[in-house]
Structure 1
């Protein structure tokens, strides 16, 4: 894997706190969903880590573009494209 690919991959991982801010939820709501397994996540110490794609799936594709900083937009667009491709495969 190329060094830039590793960096790009890391941009798709956000904390529960960051996810809460991006989606307008409380940190507790996101953390509880992680604990219940409603959001695919991993824990690092006391911090829940989620991907943008996992949050999009949890929120059924809903997001607020104005909340996303420019550096996260490529990850958002990539996750949306993967979700669209998955839907196309499911309906075929």
Structure 2
């Protein structure tokens, strides 16, 4: 099963800059067990609209069955790890 974490962000978003190091560390430690897809909402508004993203940062964890979990605002590593495990990563 493939698992993807979609990171909806914008360059002007302060909390997004807080979220980045958490995601980078998680990605390094989990070593390829899930994919990260960064979505700049200013450049990819169609994708943001498709997922009904209204606040930043928004993190969406998906697997082959669809959306498993959605987080709005800066999300701690532990919460992300739990959701990734639930998704099958």
Higher helix share: 1
Higher strand share: 2
Q: What is the TM-score normalised by the length of structure 1? A: 0.33
Q: What is the TM-score normalised by the length of structure 2? A: 0.33
More relative contact order, 1 or 2 (CA 8 Å, 6+ apart): 2
Structure index of larger Rg: 1
